[in-house]
Structure 1
Amino acid sequence: MTSTLAGLTALVTGGASGIGLATAELLSEYGADVAVLDLDPAAVRAPLRGFTADVTDDDSVRSAVEETARQLGGIDILVNNAGTGAAGTVADNPDEEWARVLDVNVLGIVRVTRAALPYLRRSAHAAVVNTCSIAATAGLPQRALYSASKGAVLSLTLAMAADHVREGIRVNCVNPGTVDTPWVGRLLDAAADPVAERAALNGRQPTGRLVTAQEVAAAIAYLASPAAGSTTGTALAVDGGMAGLRLRPEPQA
């Protein structure tokens, strides 16, 4: 498995922690030369290459992508992972917060992909993988803004796949369930009863536990690999069965 991406180059946004870092490390383990774009890439260690970029700033994105492509010698794989969260109903967030989250989660993908397209078009194995969410396909409480942003990511993924398939660029996304990331950890810490809240999140997924960042990374690596050469316009759920399974309640002891 360690040579499945040998000779390919990859760019991962939001790659300094959580799903992004797990993905960058796995792509590197599989043989790719990997660069990470992040607001603070200080945690990125060799052989990964860290670049500072803000996905809400087009000049920042273009500059970082250009330097990444120069150092890597091109871009074969783009993982649009940078994102932010939000909690609450439609009544709980002001317009400014809606604009901020959509700017990061949706327009961030637009900016980075737009800057990377000239390099992807030159690749024989071009692949884009967007980090979406189970929130795009399931109604989750207290996630109106976040769900709206990820629903847009799902639709954007399909549109991008249609636009670029004849250019030889595959576009897919992963739909993780609740992942044990620093952001989720902060949500749990802020809960009135963190232990009960974690138990509720665990119980929401049929496997009875949170998804790991490494499990999402494995799905991203597959979609990015030439082994998935006939897979495009697909949303791959990594959600512990949440999207498709309907289990009966466990018998009471």
Structure 2
Amino acid sequence: MRLINKVAIVTGAGAGIGAATAELFIQEGAKVVVADFNADAVNEVVRRLGEDAIACSVDVRDSAQVKAMIDLAVKRFGGLDIIVNNAGRGSLGTVETMEENDWDDIIAVNLKGVYLCSKYAIPALRARGGGAIVNTASNIVQFAIKDRAAYVAAKGGVAALTRAMALDHSVDNIRVNSVAPGVIWSNYYNKMLTQVPDPDAFVSGLKARAPMGRYGEPRDIANAILYLACDESGFATGSMLTVDGGAAAW
């Protein structure tokens, strides 16, 4: 097992990539704080994962709540070795059509949340002699898509912030990397199937976005996050690992 005696926080862990990552980390021997805005969701995940996981309801836009999340990991498990900044949300709109409050919220959740979680995690990571920060970016930082202006901007910021933090904190033996998912099946797409006129065509369209001819599963991204979090990637920092079935290569 690759995470024996490690303590991790995973945000956005109520479902999807975050929940899959928390589950994989537990399987690899870690103690995990399962954090999400949705308290009911994280409680259900923790119920499945057992005693090596604890739930934390957190709004990553709120510094006091983020501090409390870090303190919970340290007090309950004795320290912190890994934080996975996975909390995020999307939104439709161009810079012309988006309302300012929607823009601010997308930037706050996806980018400010990474800043706050990293800011308050770094002293705890340093106290353990170093550690790993893994941020969830997106393959769209390598190209753009229509009608997603705020999301593209936020995830581009995550990718750039990852590189900046890697330079700033290599002296602390803290590695900072990001993972860039493509289309990953989630509850969002399950809901979409009930709303589109032709569900089969919708699924086919998702698969066609990647040269591999399929969409990804949350476990595909969890495996990449595990690699970036564990000692096997000990010489990797400031990098972005794209996991999108080849979509960014087009």
TM-score (norm 2): 0.93
Mapping for residues 65-76 of structure 1, pairs under 5 Å: 65-76=70-81
- Deviations along 1:78-133, whole A, 9 cap, x unmatched? 00000001123333321110000100000001111111111110224500000010
Across the aligned residues of Structure 1 and Structure 2, the Cα RMSD in angstroms comes to 1.4
- Aligned-pair distance for 1:58? 1.0
- Show the counterpart of 2:44: 43
Task: Provide the aligned length of Structure 1 versus Structure 2.
Answer: 243
**Distance in 2 separating the partners of 1:133 and 1:207:** 18
Which of 120, 128, 150 is matched with 1:123 structurally?
A: 128
For residue 82 of structure 1, give the secondary structure of its aligned residue in structure 2: coil
- Aligned-pair distance for 1:189? 3.8
Mapping for residues 1-253 of structure 1, pairs under 5 Å: 3-39=1-37, 40=39, 41-45=42-46, 46=50, 47-244=52-249, 246=250
- Show the counterpart of 1:251: none
Confirm or deny: 8 A CA contact 2:129 2:172 kept in the other structure. no
**Distance in 1 separating the partners of 2:109 and 2:56:** 17
Poorly superposed stretches of 4+, deviation over 6 Å: none
Identity among equivalent positions (%) equals 39
Structure 1: unaligned runs, 5 residues or longer: 247-253
Confirm or deny: 8 A CA contact 1:172 1:232 kept in the other structure. yes
**Distance in 2 separating the partners of 1:188 and 1:230:** 42
**Distance in 1 separating the partners of 2:233 and 2:144:** 30
Distance change (3 Å), C-alpha of 1:197 and 1:144: farther
* Larger helix share, 1 or 2: 2
- Deviations along 1:21-74, whole A, 9 cap, x unmatched? 000110111111111111222222213211111111111111121112110110
- Show the counterpart of 1:250: none
Distance change (3 Å), C-alpha of 1:26 and 1:184: same
Confirm or deny: 8 A CA contact 2:7 2:73 kept in the other structure. no
Confirm or deny: 8 A CA contact 1:34 1:48 kept in the other structure. yes
Structure 2: unaligned runs, 5 residues or longer: none
